[in-house]
Amino acid sequence: FGGHPQACGFSLKNPALLEDFKKTLLAKATSGLAKTDLTPVINIDAEVQLEDITWELYDVLSKFEPIGVGNPMPRYMARKLKIHNIENVGNDGKHVRIHVTHSSGVIRKIIGFYCSEICELFKTGDEIDAIFEVGVNEWNGTRELQLKIVDIKIAGAQNDEIIKSNV
């Protein structure tokens, strides 16, 4: 029981039983999930060209707020984005901003929070497939569409070759 449907909590009457509890719980989970496919799946709402992501789309999406449990943020996929620049950003360098082009050649930015290791895996000229959510970045008096990375991989790579996932 908790404050929302995904919350749960409990306590043990005797904390000395914690290790036994963990072993029993693990055994039950292992047997109960033996025939369950636990491969992570990311559902997308549409495959798009980056040029499809506009302020008009954002205005339509904002009419579906509030976003949350039962009303998740829409996710989009774009294939074969060509990397023009990739850089660590943020005070601690834990985030990554990637400048990419798509079919029109217009350079767009996508951002991955806590994905700094991506900078080591990709390089300028690589083609990537990306799943992202659309939001707004307002900073220093500037307002721009922000494409937040949910998942990213080398273009054409199989599902088991996914490089980074935030889910």
Task: Give the chain as a 3 state SS string.
Answer: CCCCCCCCCCCCCCHHHHHHHHHHHHHHHHHHCCCCCCCCCCCCCEECCHHHCCHHHHHHHHCCCCCECCECCCCEEEEEEEEEEEEEECCCCCEEEEEEECCCCCCEEEEECCCCCHHHHCCCCCEEEEEEEEEEEEECCEEEEEEEEEEEEECCCCHHHCCEECC
Q: What is the mean pLDDT of the chain?
A: 87
How does residue 3 score in pLDDT terms, banded at 50, 70 and 90?
low
- pLDDT value at position 96? 93
* Cβ proximity of 122 and 130 under 8 Å: no
Within 33-150, where are the H helices? 55-62, 118-121
* 25-59: pLDDT as tens digits: 999 999 999 899 888 889 999 999 999 999 999 99
Question: Quick one: average pLDDT of 102-121?
Answer: 86
Q: If you average pLDDT over residues 148-164, what whole number do you get?
A: 72
Evaluate whether 18 touches 12 at the Cβ level (below 8 Å): yes
| Helix then strand then coil, % of the chain, to nearest 5 | 20, 35, 45
pTM of the prediction? 0.77
